[in-house]
């Protein structure tokens, strides 16, 4: 249930409070766009994690039945009150901030992947490796079950990353849909990045490129430079991904909460070991984008690794008192 202090009517909430929620969404979206950094961690830091999880798990599909009463003032009031009770306005404002940042950051990251793929994947390596080190420090592989979970996570990611690295990948709509459902993990579980899963699945560069093309195409359509038909392909992919994320919110979120409630240590051991096994992918990509190994070619990669790792360690330093 939503705490009374959190159940605000939209009209009674000051504008600056919604602006604060929007800005926190932007911070989460920036984190969600980068492999190795978790939007869930940002939600923890900004003090909205519990409210976010509560709002997500309180979403009730039965509320859709109230749409039939939109023709009357009493029906609209009942729908409004139900949406406020589920804290949907909070999710909408926060989600708008997240989308704003994802759209902006995806353009930056996609450009970096096109212009400097080796250094970009080196940066990802630093982010993911440091995140795994930080999270492993909070784990204890003291039981056979946890060890098995850790080995399984490492092996799965190592094998999958070997297949997806350097390959064009399969970008069918069902794969995109499933990727969206899995990527939403970043919003649910602090410490684990949804963008990381997209990298592991070989969908990250494709989806950031598709989103960039969609935004550019939408702007061109508004300016009258292109027809709306040109948006069909990227829009279909974006809508499919978002649909997967929505389904993931009401399925993956509950599944993760169940796993954490019943097998917390083993679940975290599996997820963190996924990150370690997936380091194979950026290593392959770095090697593929370095023609000859020399001090001049390796130095930028080393600096990128240190930059990525340093960013995570600085974040961990200022959030060391948070319990995930």
- Digit-coded pLDDT (tens) for 141-161: 888 888 999 999 899 888 888
Contact 66, 198 (CB under 8 A): no
Confidence at residue 275, expressed as pLDDT on a 0 to 100 scale: 82
| 147 token code pair | 């060890």
Confidence at residue 8, expressed as pLDDT on a 0 to 100 scale: 52
With CA atoms as reference, report the closest residue to 34 among 172, 221, 193, 183.
193
Is the pLDDT at 1 greater than 50? The verdict is: no
Residues 43, 50: Cα–Cα separation, whole Å: 9
Confidence at residue 100, expressed as pLDDT on a 0 to 100 scale: 94
Residues 276, 22: Cα–Cα separation, whole Å: 33
Residues 286, 282: Cα–Cα separation, whole Å: 6
Torsion of the alpha carbons at 53, 21, 194 and 249, rounded to the nearest 10? 40
Contact 136, 319 (CB under 8 A): no
Confidence at residue 6, expressed as pLDDT on a 0 to 100 scale: 46
pTM of the entire structure? 0.74
Cβ within 8 Å of residue 184, ≥6 positions away: 194, 244, 245, 248, 249, 252, 253
Is the pLDDT at 173 greater than 60? The verdict is: yes
Q: What is the pLDDT of residues 174-228, one digit of tens each?
A: 999 999 988 887 667 766 778 888 888 888 889 999 999 999 999 999 988 888 8
- DSSP letters for 282-322: HHHHHHHT-SS--HHHHHHHHHHHHHHHHHHHHHHHHTTT-
pLDDT band at 122; cut points 50, 70, 90: very high
> In percent, how much of the chain has pLDDT > 90?
22
Confidence at residue 12, expressed as pLDDT on a 0 to 100 scale: 59
pLDDT band at 259; cut points 50, 70, 90: confident
pLDDT band at 11; cut points 50, 70, 90: low
């Amino acid at each position: 249930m939503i705490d009374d202090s959190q159940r605000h009517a939209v009209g009674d909430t000051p504008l600056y409070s919604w602006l604060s929620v929007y800005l926190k969404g932007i911070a989460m979206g920036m984190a969600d766009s980068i492999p190795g950094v978790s939007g869930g961690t940002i939600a923890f830091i900004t003090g909205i994690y519990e409210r976010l999880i509560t709002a997500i798990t309180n979403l009730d599909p039965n509320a859709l039945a109230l749409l039939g009463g939109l023709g009357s003032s009493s029906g609209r009031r009942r729908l409004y009150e139900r949406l406020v009770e589920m804290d949907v306005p909070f999710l909408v404002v926060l989600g708008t901030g997240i989308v704003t940042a994802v759209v902006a950051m995806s353009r930056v990251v996609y450009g970096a992947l096109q212009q400097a793929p080796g250094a970009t994947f080196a940066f990802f390596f630093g982010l993911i490796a440091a995140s795994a080190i930080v999270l492993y420090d909070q784990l204890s592989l003291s039981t056979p079950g946890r060890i098995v979970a850790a080995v399984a996570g490492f092996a799965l990611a190592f094998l999958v990353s070997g297949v997806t690295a350097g390959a064009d990948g399969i970008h069918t709509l069902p794969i995109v849909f499933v990727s969206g459902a899995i990527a939403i993990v970043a919003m649910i579980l602090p410490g684990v990045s949804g963008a990381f899963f997209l990298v592991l699945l070989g969908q990250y560069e494709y989806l950031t490129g598709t989103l960039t093309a969609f935004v550019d195409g939408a702007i061109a359509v508004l300016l009258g430079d292109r027809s709306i038909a040109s948006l069909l392909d990227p829009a279909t992919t974006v809508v499919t991904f978002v649909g997967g994320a929505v389904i993931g919110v009401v399925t993956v979120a509950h599944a993760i909460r169940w796993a954490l409630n019943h097998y917390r240590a083993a679940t975290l051991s599996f997820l963190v070991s996924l990150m370690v096994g997936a380091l194979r992918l950026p290593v392959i990509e770095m090697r593929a984008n370095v023609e000859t190994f020399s001090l001049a070619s390796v130095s930028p990669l080393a600096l990128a690794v240190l930059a990525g790792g340093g960013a995570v360690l600085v974040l961990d330093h200022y959030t060391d008192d948070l319990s995930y």
